[in-house]
Amino acid sequence: MEVPKFLSIFMLIAYLWVISNNNGVEASHKIYPKFQSLAAVKVKQLHRTAFHFQPPKHWINDPNGPMYYKGIYHLFYQYNPKGAVWGNIVWAHSVSKDLINWEALEPALYPSKPFDINGCWSGSATVLPGNKPIILYTGIDYKERQVQNYAVPANPSDPYLRKWIKPNNNPVVFPGPDVNASAFRDPTTAWWSNDGHWRMLVGSRRKHRGIAYLYRSRDFMKWTKAKYPIHSLANTGMWECPDFYPVSISGKNGLDTSFAGGNEKFVLKVSLDLTRYDYYTTGTYNRDKDRYVPDKDSVDGWSGLRYDYGNFYASKTFFDSRKNRRILWGWANESDSTFDDMAKGWAGVQTIPREVWLDGSGKQLLQWPIEELETLRGKNVHISNQELKKGHHVEVKGVTAAQADVEVTFKLPSLDKAEKFDPSWKNLDAEHLCGKIGSKVQGGVGPFGLLTLASKNLEEFTPVFFRIFKDGHKHLVLMCSDASSSTLKTEGLYKPSFAGFVNVDLSDKKLSLRSLIDHSVVESFGAGGKTCITSRVYPTLAVFDDAHLYAFNNGTETVTVEKLNAWSMKKPAKMNS
């Protein structure tokens, strides 16, 4: 094991002690008591991101309570002010006018009262009529119970909402006798119904059943649990960070969480603690029965749709009334070791905020980086009508390949030569299939795509690519973001071949891909945002100016880069400093 010099032998011993004696998991984070308050000695720039949301140092996880208020975007997030591992969690608070440049304020919430003395965990914001923001969050109380609390701004006329008050009538929701007080957290944004009640959800489990409990209140203070959860599913374990919102059935416009036009669809997202991915279904909300029913062909549980097939968890959306859109924030954790995180002095980023809306098919969501990101685009290079024969790659020269935004459209030949989907692969999920037949295994139509964070001689690269199969009369499109060759470093890294299928109509013989490359992040959007994959990778050679970007093809059929645009990305002028 490589030991950074400034870490003492004592710390190494402590580290080895912790990995051999890991005393359990709480709130699903591994606990390293010895390191929780070990401040970063320095902040390593290697692998640090330029345009993803990060504080200047230390550990971050879930995005909390995003909202737009009086011309200002607010993002709160779970943060350890004292170290680069999970612990000492507070609600850090940042504000922005454009979702790109951020200013850090004082933490909004930190443990201080009997109802949250052991933790201020995740939650959401709701803007009440009269433009009054209120936060609901999970407190770990003096008896170690998970309870739901509220907080209000001390001075609502301050658009920055710098100070928050946690009144003494908290908690507003106790886990009842039938609720597991160790598995009861992450209240959603509340929505108002014309029966005069607010409603909100809290994630939970009963034995192996994942549950989203529904609560109702007239005044936001006294909450009553509904007889039935809004939804639950056997054998899915703890449901963390539920999110529930309406989506318009046509067009990209977002809807306020309380919107009730009668014609909208709903999305229920849950973060499954057992797999650490965010799954969603689209469905119907029956307001009379207060139950959510996923559409017949919307698969519930962990073979269903995910927002992102990579490092992406505990996400949350909010309605942006400024631009009438719904925006999704998610946490991308590290794939290196706790020891590396301490050496880096930081761990975790938020993914680029994404606009989400319902696809025209009505069967899935589309996601796309917010348009504001384009303000960071600098130098542009362009390629068009470039043929890529089997085994060939072409370099995208002239942009900072370690810090770039690239959009490409591939034109495909006839799909007749697509390889047959082997029936034995039916038992594999997309990730295992990509692990088995990655970019190095030649196919018919594909693998083709981008080689991101590549070293000059391709000792290291993170390929993001498509592969097309014939399955009877249908075609299957697999999209991979494969970390297995991303670095020469061998120890202590998680290098998964993340992948998902893309439900896309290939009749125009085109497939598009966009990747946001940011030193240790490759965040990709396939087919206009139908399938998204975020990979965390840690190259040793392909860093800073030594990183390269290529388009490649390893299928027998020639594909054409119809058009490719790549931009060097600037750093936001302000990022929480």
Ligand X SMILES: *[C@@H]1O[C@H](CO)[C@@H](O)[C@H](O)[C@H]1NC(C)=O
Build a one-symbol-per-residue string for 115-154: x at contacts with ligand X by CB under 6 A, - elsewhere.
----------------------------------------
* CB closer to ligand X, 102 vs 552: 552
Figure out which of the listed residues 122, 335, 350, 576 binds ligand X, where binding follows CB under 6 A: 335
Contacts to ligand X from residues 292-321, by CB under 6 A: 313
Figure out which of the listed residues 439, 487, 515, 560 binds ligand X, where binding follows CB under 6 A: 439
Angstrom CA distances, 164 to 129, 172, 253, 357, stand at 19, 16, 31, 32
* CB closer to ligand X, 88 vs 182: 182
Q: Could you tell me how many residues of this chain bind ligand X (CB under 6 A)? A: 18
In this structure, are residues 123 and 134 in contact, taking their beta carbons and an 8 Å threshold? no
**Which pair of tokens denotes residue 429?**
């999920």
Q: What gap in Å lies between CA 449 and CA 446, rounded to an integer?
A: 8
* Minimum gap (Å) between residue 500 Cβ and ligand X: 16
CA 411 vs. chain centroid, Å, equals 30
* Minimum gap (Å) between residue 139 Cβ and ligand X: 16
* Minimum gap (Å) between residue 358 Cβ and ligand X: 26
Figure out which of the listed residues 363, 436, 440, 574 binds ligand X, where binding follows CB under 6 A: 440
- To which residue do tokens 């020639």 refer? 558
**Which pair of tokens denotes residue 387?**
């043929």
Q: Which amino acid, 192?
A: W
Binding segment for ligand X among 301-309, 358-366, 436-444, 561-569 (CB under 6 A)?
Answer: 436-444
62 is catalytic: yes
* CB closer to ligand X, 258 vs 439: 439
* CB closer to ligand X, 96 vs 497: 497
First vs last Cα of the chain: how many Å apart?
A: 33
* Minimum gap (Å) between residue 452 Cβ and ligand X: 11
Contacts to ligand X from residues 27-66, by CB under 6 A: none
Contacts to ligand X from residues 466-505, by CB under 6 A: 494
* CB closer to ligand X, 520 vs 554: 554
In this structure, are residues 523 and 534 in contact, taking their beta carbons and an 8 Å threshold? yes
* Minimum gap (Å) between residue 7 Cβ and ligand X: 19
State the SS3 of 488-511.
Answer: CCCCCCCCCEEEEEECCCCCCCEE
* CB closer to ligand X, 246 vs 444: 444
Strands, E, within 46-196: which ranges? 58-69, 72-79, 90-96, 103-109, 120-128, 132-140, 146-153, 164-165, 184-185, 191-193
- Characterize the bridge pairing of strands 346-347 and 58-69: parallel
Contacts to ligand X from residues 257-296, by CB under 6 A: 276
Question: Does the footprint of ligand X cover residue 333 (CB under 6 A)?
Answer: yes
Q: What gap in Å lies between CA 438 and CA 536, rounded to an integer?
A: 18
* CB closer to ligand X, 183 vs 305: 183
- To which residue do tokens 């069967």 refer? 363
Contacts to ligand X from residues 172-211, by CB under 6 A: 180, 182-183, 207
**Which pair of tokens denotes residue 409?**
């459209």
State the SS3 of 204-262.
Answer: EEECCEEEEEEEEECCCCCCEECCCCCEEECCCCCEEEEEEEEECCCCCCECCCCCCCC
Contacts to ligand X from residues 369-388, by CB under 6 A: none
From 62, 243, 278, 340, the catalytic residue: 62
In this structure, are residues 347 and 80 in contact, taking their beta carbons and an 8 Å threshold? no
* CB closer to ligand X, 139 vs 572: 139
Contacts to ligand X from residues 534-563, by CB under 6 A: 552, 554
* Minimum gap (Å) between residue 162 Cβ and ligand X: 30
Other Cβ atoms less than 10 A from the Cβ of 188: the count is: 28
Interacting residues toward ligand X by CB under 6 A: 180, 182-183, 207, 238, 276, 313, 333, 335, 391, 439-440, 442, 451, 463, 494, 552, 554
Task: Write out the catalytic residue numbers.
Answer: 62
